[in-house]
A = this chain, B = another copy of it.
Amino acid sequence: MATYFSSNFTLGILGGGQLGKMLLYETRKFDIRTKVLDPSNEAPSRIACDEFQQGDLMDFDTVYHFGKDVDVLTFEIEGVNIEALEKLESEGKKVYPSSKTLRNIQDKGVQKKFYSEHKIPTSPFLVFEDKYKLNEAIVRKDLTFPFVWKSCTGGYDGKGVSVIRDAEAVIPLPEGACIAEKLIPFKNELAVIVARNPSGEVTTYPVVEMEFHPEANQVEYVLCPARIDENVAEKARAVTSKVSEAFQHVGLLAVELFQTEDDEILVNEVAPRPHNSGHYSIEASYTNQFEQHLRAILDLPLGKTDSKVGGIMVNLVGAEGHTGAVDYKNIEQILGMDGVTPHIYGKKQTRPFRKMGHVTIVNEDLSEARKIAEEVKKTIQVISK
């Protein structure tokens, strides 16, 4: 087995955002050498890696040459040049998650078809190669209102997703390839993170429950464990296992699920990396998701996924009406609350709904944590100076 610890072994990470930054806490803990590629010289990961390279993640040559120079290559964002990953793999480079996993995920149309082919429960959908075809389907009544429109590529943090209730709402949609999903009324949005290493070891985190901000379509609270019946949790874990088995991924796979009114579990979408729904694990779990991802991609034994205590995560997003140099108003007050840990991603500029950080609230009693989480939410504000 390769010696990763305090050695010349180098892990390459495509993307230097907050997920990369939190992954670097773990590489530092294990003293694993890292090299990060990100387009921004102010990327949150810039200062805790061993080597930082500024460059375009979508550029073939940049990604290829970056990958040539490292021992294992991973990514913290799906928007990377997949052809470069394929070429690296064909030359024997270890790329985890693999280009194949990413191919099945990066395009939402492909992802949905993947679920159909693998008999994984997901909402009914149609794929359109452009807006012209979408309009055509509406005219022919192959597609009826309401439906959920999703851009096939580039969606992130609630961007690229809209609920379309009438013809008017179709007008501002972009031109590109998209999917239209049946709007399913659901009780809960759930998520399960599953880790898999190249040796085939698999571990699953507890089911978490996500509460969304009604306007921004961004996760507002993530609760672990989810406040659901054990049989629903069981079903969610079973579906997740099936998804994991189908993808044969290496590293984390975050599986977002709907619990329908009839307690059916449907897969919404997946992300092959540490995920916002797993941030609670830094404070609440025996092994946090970033350490688990690292263990998985390095083919180390996976850690215990149980929780030590109940955990709730609150996203810190930029307040509406504020753009400019960030100020975390009342952060001192929330630091005085029980079991509260803010994570500040290090973005110097705020703008409405930008993910600037998150706060974790841990408590033996989840309902107590929930109360504190609301206090946190009410107290802290991400504004401009």
CA A98 to CA B29, docked complex, whole Å: 29
Cβ contact within 8 Å between A6 and B49: no
Note all chain B residues with C-beta closer than 8 A to A309: 308
In the complex, A168 has a CB within 8 A of chain B: no
In the complex, A132 has a CB within 8 A of chain B: no
CA A364 to CA B308, docked complex, whole Å: 8
In the complex, A345 has a CB within 8 A of chain B: yes
Contact with B along A334-374 (1 / 0, CB 8 A): 01101111111111100000000000001010000000000
Note all chain B residues with C-beta closer than 8 A to A184: none
Cβ contact within 8 Å between B308 and A6: no
CA A355 to CA B1, docked complex, whole Å: 24
Note all chain B residues with C-beta closer than 8 A to A145: none
Closest-CB distance, A336 to chain B (whole angstroms): 3
CA A304 to CA B24, docked complex, whole Å: 26
Given A1-B332, A28-B48, A47-B47, 19 additional A-B pairs, CB 8 A: A3-B328, A5-B331, A5-B342, A5-B344, A6-B344, A21-B28, A24-B48, A25-B25, A28-B47, A47-B49, A48-B48, A286-B339, A286-B362, A300-B332, A301-B335, A303-B335, A303-B341, A304-B339, A308-B364
The 9 tightest CB contacts between A and B, nearest first, are: A301-B336, A31-B344, A31-B346, A308-B308, A48-B48, A301-B335, A308-B309, A5-B328, A5-B344
Point out residues on A near B: beta carbons under 8 Å: 1, 3, 5-6, 21, 24-25, 28-31, 47-50, 286-287, 291, 295, 300-301, 303-304, 308-309, 326-328, 331-332, 335-336, 338-348, 362, 364
